């Protein structure tokens, strides 16, 4: 009897373990089905979402879809309203918006540069009584890069060599202050205030920055108007203010327009120490070494230095920036 009871007990225990194992297997299968269904659902939503962005061709390649960026319903420049209710005005803005929106590389680089240079440019514009929107004119001119145009215009504000001295910028074999961001900004402010006084609006002043005050005055006089939006101007000037407006729209609302620059990707203002130089420096490379840096960094921090030496005339001085 004891043997029989033990056999029955063992059989019953094995049967219980079998039932538990079966239940566990069923549970695992059902869980797998649920997880799989969830993944399929998520993937299907993902595919649906991506249908608006790209199409998968028969050979597996993606055909991306390009959409027209949204046009703002209203805009202003330097406090002056842009008449977007006019078809010609709206379509000109849309043309420049389209070109700059899909110029991803340049737009992203401008956004990275803007966090370094906008604070100092904005402060200078405010101090000179010029609307901050003119920082976008600077962007339109140079993309915030010290470059030279085919016509010979140079620096952030793209001053021509014959125009720059009229607004206080020094140019010679050793020094070219068109490459000095702050001094060039001050010079641009002088020009813009002068043009505003002459033509009556900041928008007209901006247009004249492209075609010159004499050029704008000639077109304005012939057409009996100084309103930029009413004038027929050279092609480049016709597009110029609209390019500034498009850049304002994209740069000021970068993330909303899909241009995401995270904080760690923003270029920060350079930390520098300023040294007053009131005597000639015959060897700038040695000068850099004597001041704890090298010639490369000296030139990067002071792009307005155009030679290997700096001649300082009596009564003159320069402020050189060095890495802090």
Instruction: Give Cα separations from 68 to 36, 102, 246, 257 (angstroms).
Output: 38, 10, 13, 12
Which pairs with CB-CB distance under 8 Å and at least 24 residues apart come from 144-151?
144/110, 144/113, 144/114, 144/117, 145/113, 146/179, 146/303
Interacting residues of 140 by C-beta distance below 8 A, sequence separation 6+: 240, 243, 244, 247
For the chain, report the end-to-end CA distance as a whole number of angstroms. 97
Residue 254 maps to which CATH number? 1.10.530.10
Residues 181, 312, single domain; the answer is no
pLDDT of residue 28: 52
Q: Could you please report the per-residue DSSP string of 157-212?
A: TTB-TTTGGGGT--BSSSBBGGG-HHHHHHHHHHHHHHHHHHHSSHHHHHHHHHH-
Name the token pair of 145: 């890069």
Q: Does residue 69 form part of some domain?
A: no
Cα–Cα distance measured from residue 276 to residue 145, given in angstroms and rounded to the nearest whole number: 25
Rounding to the nearest 10 degrees, give the CA dihedral for residues 194, 195, 197, 200. Answer: -170
pLDDT of residue 63: 76
Q: Does residue 7 form part of some domain?
A: yes
> What is the number of structural domains in the chain?
3
Residues 86, 51, single domain; the answer is no
H or E element at residue 47? helix 2-51
Q: What is the DSSP letter of 43?
A: H
Cα–Cα distance measured from residue 106 to residue 256, given in angstroms and rounded to the nearest whole number: 17
**What are the residues facing 305 on neighbouring strands?**
175
Boundary (domain end) residue, out of 19, 42, 64: 64
Residues 115, 254, single domain; the answer is yes
Interacting residues of 129 by C-beta distance below 8 A, sequence separation 6+: 189, 193
SS3 of residue 227 by DSSP: coil
Residues 195, 223, single domain; the answer is yes
Q: List the domain range (segments joined by +) for residue 27.
A: 2-64
Residues 185, 210, single domain; the answer is yes
Averages of pLDDT over each 10 residues, the chain, 324 residues: 46 47 53 48 45 74 76 94 97 93 88 95 98 98 95 97 97 98 98 98 98 97 98 97 96 84 90 96 98 97 98 96 95
**What are the residues facing 56 on neighbouring strands?**
62
SS3 of residue 256 by DSSP: coil
Beta strands per DSSP E along the chain: 54-56, 62-64, 76-77, 80-81, 272-277, 318-323
Q: Does residue 70 form part of some domain?
A: no
Asked if 174 contacts 307 with a C-beta cutoff of 8 angstroms, the reply is: yes
């Amino acid at each position: 009897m004891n043997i029989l009871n033990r056999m029955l007990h063992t059989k019953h225990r094995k049967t219980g373990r079998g039932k538990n194992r079966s239940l566990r297997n069923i549970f695992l299968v059902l869980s797998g089905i649920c997880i799989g269904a969830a993944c399929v659902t998520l993937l299907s939503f993902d595919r649906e979402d991506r249908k608006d962005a790209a199409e998968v061709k028969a050979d597996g390649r993606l055909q991306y879809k390009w959409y027209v960026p949204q046009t703002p319903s209203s805009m202003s420049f330097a406090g002056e309203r842009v008449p977007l209710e006019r078809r010609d005005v709206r379509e000109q803005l849309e043309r420049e918006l389209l070109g700059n929106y899909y110029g991803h590389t340049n737009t992203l680089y401008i956004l990275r540069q803007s966090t370094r240079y906008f604070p100092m440019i904005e402060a200078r514009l405010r101090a000179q009584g010029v609307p901050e929107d003119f920082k976008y004119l600077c962007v339109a001119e140079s993309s915030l890069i010290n470059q030279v145009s085919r016509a010979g215009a140079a620096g952030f504000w793209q001053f021509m060599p014959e125009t720059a001295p009229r607004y206080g910028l020094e140019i010679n074999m050793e020094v070219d202050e068109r490459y000095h961001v702050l001094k060039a900004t001050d010079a641009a402010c002088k020009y813009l205030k002068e043009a505003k006084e002459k033509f009556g609006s900041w928008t007209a002043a901006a247009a004249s920055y492209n075609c010159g005050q004499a050029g704008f005055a000639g077109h304005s006089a012939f057409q009996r108007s100084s309103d930029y939006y009413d004038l027929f101007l050279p092609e480049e000037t016709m597009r110029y203010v609209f390019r500034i407006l498009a850049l304002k729209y994209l740069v000021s609302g970068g993330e909303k327009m899909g241009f995401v620059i995270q904080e760690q990707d923003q270029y920060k203002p350079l930390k520098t120490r300023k040294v007053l130089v009131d005597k000639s420096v015959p060897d700038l490379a040695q000068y850099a070494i004597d001041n704890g840096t090298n010639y490369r960094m000296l030139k990067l921090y002071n792009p307005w230095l155009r030679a290997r030496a700096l001649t300082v005339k009596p009564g003159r001085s320069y402020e050189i920036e060095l890495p802090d």
